[in-house]
């Protein structure tokens, strides 16, 4: 269990080198068949982008529990292998493992990034009707992103309006980002203006709207939004990430990209 705790910590920090060292120690000490440790290894390698390593660990596991399956499903989904995530989810169900909240986050996220609208909607409905799992913010985020990228803006807006027990302020930015990605200028403008009413201090709506106006050559409108942003004291927050180098960790700022809720 000590190995599992340390490996989970490495996964949370995306500390691949340290995680590999602990993995080596686990093997040297004859470690095999400890589901907690090996599930943590799957999660570590998946989070660090080493999805093939994660899959090898998963396939060699003597015992698998729901956490193991979830780690691999989410790992596939997060690393752009959505179809494999969906296939693994279905295999898990076939083997009699009952999916939980996290399982559905993984499979719906996979559908979102694979652009599988119909399948995503089926899993979203199945979650509540078959397994009595109430959709949470993470599930709604994935569905809204999926619908938005597919150009189904009205359906996405309807989902936000009907979502119960979730903070809509966390959902609108997802749809805004999806519309920006799909270059739907009219939808971006409408949703950004709505967000500016609901959350006047949220910088995302202003930044996205300014970007769209500039892309469309609407320079005067972009300037108006910039002035409104300054008048309201709204500051653009740079996205940041932690990157591991040979000596430790570097905090990297992204001053141009706009972070969206995931």
| Structural contact between residues 170 and 261, judged by C-beta atoms closer than 8 angstroms | yes
Residue 164: pLDDT band by 50, 70, 90 thresholds? confident
Task: Report yes or no on 242 lying in a domain.
Answer: no
- Give the percent of the chain with pLDDT over 90: 59
Q: For residue 181, what pLDDT is reported?
A: 81
Domain encompassing residue 8: 1-63
Task: Report yes or no on 44 lying in a domain.
Answer: yes
Distance CA(191)–CA(171), nearest Å, equals 11
User: How many alpha carbons lie under 13 Å from residue 61 in its C-beta half-sphere?
Assistant: 24
Residue (of 163, 159, 168, 166) closest to 197 by Cα position: 168
- Three-state SS annotation for 80-110: CCHHHHHHHHHHHHHCCCCCCHHHHHHHHHH
Task: Report yes or no on 45 lying in a domain.
Answer: yes
pLDDT at 30 over 60: yes
| Structural contact between residues 153 and 182, judged by C-beta atoms closer than 8 angstroms | no
The contacts found for 146-150 with CB under 8 angstroms, 24 or more apart, are 146/108, 146/111, 146/112, 146/115, 146/116, 146/117, 146/120, 147/117, 147/178, 148/174, 148/175, 148/177, 148/178, 148/179, 148/181, 148/182, 149/112, 149/115, 149/178, 149/181, 149/182, 150/115, 150/117
Q: For residue 253, what pLDDT is reported?
A: 43
Q: For residue 214, what pLDDT is reported?
A: 92
pLDDT tens digit string along 202-251?
898 999 999 999 989 999 999 999 999 999 998 876 554 434 433 333 33
pLDDT at 105 over 90: yes
User: How far out from the chain centre does Cα 11 lie?
Assistant: 16
The reply to whether the predicted model has a pTM over 0.85 is no
Residue 163: pLDDT band by 50, 70, 90 thresholds? confident
pLDDT at 260 over 70: no
Q: For residue 75, what pLDDT is reported?
A: 96
Distance CA(67)–CA(28), nearest Å, equals 24
Task: Report yes or no on 234 lying in a domain.
Answer: no
Q: For residue 239, what pLDDT is reported?
A: 52
DSSP 251: E
| Structural contact between residues 179 and 191, judged by C-beta atoms closer than 8 angstroms | yes
Task: Report yes or no on 20 lying in a domain.
Answer: yes
Q: For residue 237, what pLDDT is reported?
A: 65
Task: Report yes or no on 105 lying in a domain.
Answer: no
Q: Domains in the chain: how many in total?
A: 1
Distance CA(164)–CA(135), nearest Å, equals 8
Chain mean pLDDT for the chain: 86
DSSP 152: -
- Residue 253 parent element (H or E): strand 249-254
pLDDT at 1 over 80: no
Q: For residue 58, what pLDDT is reported?
A: 97
Residue (of 137, 130, 129, 84) closest to 107 by Cα position: 84
Task: Report yes or no on 5 lying in a domain.
Answer: yes
Task: Report yes or no on 176 lying in a domain.
Answer: no
Three-state secondary structure call for residue 39: helix
Which residues does 33 contact at the CB level (< 8 Å), separation at least 6? 62, 63
Most confident of 23-37, 109-123, 158-172, 236-250: 109-123
pLDDT tens digit string along 46-73?
999 999 999 999 999 999 999 999 999 9
């Amino acid at each position: 269990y000590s190995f599992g705790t340390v490996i989970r910590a490495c996964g949370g920090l995306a500390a691949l080198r340290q995680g590999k060292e602990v993995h080596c120690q686990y093997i040297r000490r004859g470690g095999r068949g400890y589901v907690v440790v090996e599930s943590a290894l799957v999660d570590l390698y998946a989070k660090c982008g080493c999805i093939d390593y994660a899959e090898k660990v998963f396939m060699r596991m003597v015992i698998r529990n729901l956490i193991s399956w979830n780690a691999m499903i989410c790992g596939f989904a997060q690393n752009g292998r959505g179809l494999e995530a969906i296939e693994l989810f279905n295999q898990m169900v076939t083997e009699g493992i009952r999916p939980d909240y996290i399982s559905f986050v993984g499979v719906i996220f996979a559908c979102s990034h694979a652009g599988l609208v119909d399948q995503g909607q089926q899993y979203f409905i199945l979650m509540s009707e078959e397994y009595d799992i109430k959709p949470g913010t993470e599930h709604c985020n994935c569905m809204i992103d999926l619908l938005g990228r597919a150009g189904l803006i009205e359906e996405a807006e309807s989902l936000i309006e009907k979502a119960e027990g979730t903070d809509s302020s966390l959902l609108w930015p997802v749809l805004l980002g999806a519309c920006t990605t799909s270059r739907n200028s009219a939808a971006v403008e409408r949703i950004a203006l709505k967000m500016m009413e609901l959350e006047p201090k949220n910088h995302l709506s202003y930044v996205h709207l300014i970007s769209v106006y500039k892309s469309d050559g609407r320079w005067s409108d972009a300037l108006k939004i910039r002035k409104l942003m300054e008048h309201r004291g709204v500051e653009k927050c740079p996205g940041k990430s932690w990157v591991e180098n040979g000596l430790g960790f570097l905090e990297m700022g992204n001053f141009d990209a706009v972070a969206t809720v995931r």
